[in-house]
Structure 1
Amino acid sequence: MNLVITQVQEQLTAAKTADKRVIFLTHFVPHHDLLWARPAHFSKPRYERVYEMVNAFLGSQRLADLLETYPNVYYTFYGHVHGRHPALTHGQLTYFNQAVGVRRRHEWQAADFENQWLASLQEIKIN
């Protein structure tokens, strides 16, 4: 994650210097509020450790902390967690989950891939 933060910071600084507006794309979950909630039925320490380990692999709040310091970053699109998730806005930055989900895991809300994909599309405007 240290390498990712360093590289992204360099790219965002260059974009800011060049007066560019940024749409940031990442596979990983960039904000802790977008990670899976701890299931209420986890009562054993072993389950808690597994939950913490899984969330650690999904993404890092450090990325959101960095992105939110750049006023030229307006949108972040991410994936890695399946299913549909509502957009999250912090300050000027809105996070969109673009994952379509996995049909065999019953994560689709639509009957077929095309309609699931169409339902996940987002229209954004940058002025």
Structure 2
Amino acid sequence: MNPPGVSYPPPPGYTHAQVQQMLQAQQQVKKAPSGRPNDWQCPNVTCRHWNYEKRTRCNRCDTPRPVVQPETPSLGGPPGLFKKGDWVCTGCGNVNWDWRERCNMCNSLQPQLQ
């Protein structure tokens, strides 16, 4: 974890906006209507049936369960550089750790607290 007041630039090849999009995508976990976190939706666009986690094929159309992708996209930096809850400042684009209420670069308030 960074000491207070220290921030890193985005990983090489990524802009602050791209990092923000990745962090937002990471925080938006698609949930099944059942509320069970590991149930999955059939990838067949003509089916889209929700299946229990234990099924390896769709219960309605027999389409194989899709391969599960890692939840956290690779940012190209060291593992654990950005974590769930970290936020991107809307004022300057700086990535801030989740425990910060204000941006350590421009002192803007965290968007969720505005």
Q: TM-score range by the shorter chain?
A: under 0.3
Q: Which has the higher contact order (CA 8 A, sep 6+)?
A: 2
Write 1 or 2 for the structure with the bigger share of helix: 1
Query: TM-score by structure 1 length?
Result: 0.26
Larger radius of gyration: 2
TM-score (norm 2): 0.27
